[in-house]
């Protein structure tokens, strides 16, 4: 019987936190795929409702809000680059900017919801209202989860006496999640606001 050859010392295992995050994001992708399927199914059987209700959407406002969220991916990535260099001060600066941009996006969605409700579009008013509020609402919850993750990374960087590899990994996987949420929103924005 032969014994298995040993791996050279220079070979390292993949980062399990990063792999776990990617696997989890794959499951989240399936969740959002189901929401997209619901949206397009309801739209295909209610074309007259979609034609009427999409007129209530404020596309320029939503486009500006979308731009803010997309740019927050840039600031998040700049924070990751700083974390990978061990530059905790710059990482904090970029992550704080990202946090405020994400919070501004969520506030913009709440403002848009209030306007739409005042015009009679609610979760129960029509198939479009249900699809709109469910898809965008779940996305807003995911953005809020990302904001909490940024607060966790920032808080940990202030509490710890030194910036560790584990903290840099947390910054990286938080950015994975944030980029995922941004890409999902670009898909939602395109489907809901542009493809009418």
Domain limits, the chain: 32-194
- What CATH class has 32-194? mainly alpha
Q: What is the number of residues in the chain? A: 196
User: What is the pTM assigned to this prediction?
Assistant: 0.86
The pLDDT, as a whole number, for residue 3 is 54
13-24 per-position pLDDT tens digit: 667 766 777 777
Buried b (16+ CB within 10 A) or exposed e, 38-77: ebeebbeebeebbeebbeebeeeebeebbeebbebbebbb
Helix, strand or coil, per DSSP, at residue 66 = helix
Mean pLDDT within 118-129: 93
Asked whether the predicted pLDDT for residue 10 surpasses 50, the reply is: no
Give the three-class secondary structure for 46: coil
Question: Residue 94's closest CA among 121, 118, 71, 128?
Answer: 71
Using one digit for the tens of pLDDT, what is the confidence trace for 52-69? 999 999 999 999 999 999
- Examine the pLDDT at 173 and tell me if it is beyond 50: yes
User: In whole angstroms, what is the distance from residue 171 CA to residue 11 CA?
Assistant: 24
Query: Confidence band (pLDDT; 50, 70, 90) for 9?
Result: very low
Q: Measured between alpha carbons, how far is 56 from 78 in angstroms, rounded to an integer? A: 37
CA distances (Å), 93 to each of 90, 116, 157, 159, in order?
5, 35, 12, 16
User: CB burial class (10 A; 0-12, 13-18, 19+) of residue 188?
Assistant: buried
Q: What confidence tens digit (pLDDT) does each residue in 130-160 have?
A: 999 999 999 999 999 999 999 999 999 988 8
For 89-114, what is the mean pLDDT? 97
CA distance 36 to 49: 17
- Which pLDDT belongs to residue 26? 83
């Amino acid at each position: 019987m032969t014994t298995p050859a040993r791996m050279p010392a220079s070979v390292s295992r993949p980062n399990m936190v990063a792999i776990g995050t990617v696997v989890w994001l794959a499951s989240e992708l399936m969740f959002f795929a189901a929401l997209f399927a619901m949206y397009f199914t309801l739209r295909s059987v209610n074309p007259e409702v979609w034609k009427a209700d999409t007129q209530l959407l404020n596309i320029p406002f939503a486009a500006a809000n979308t731009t803010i969220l997309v740019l927050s991916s840039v600031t998040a990535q700049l924070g990751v680059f700083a974390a990978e260099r061990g530059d905790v001060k710059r990482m904090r600066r970029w992550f704080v900017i990202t946090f405020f941009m994400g919070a501004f996006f969520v506030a913009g969605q709440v403002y848009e919801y209030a306007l739409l409700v005042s015009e009679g579009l609610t979760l129960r008013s029509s198939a479009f209202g249900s699809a709109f509020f469910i898809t965008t609402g779940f996305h807003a919850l995911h953005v809020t989860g990302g904001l909490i993750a940024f607060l966790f990374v920032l808080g940990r960087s202030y509490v710890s006496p030194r910036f560790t590899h584990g903290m840099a990994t947390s910054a990286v996987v938080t950015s994975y999640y944030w980029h995922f949420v941004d890409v999902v929103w670009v898909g939602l924005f395109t489907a809901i606001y542009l493809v009418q």
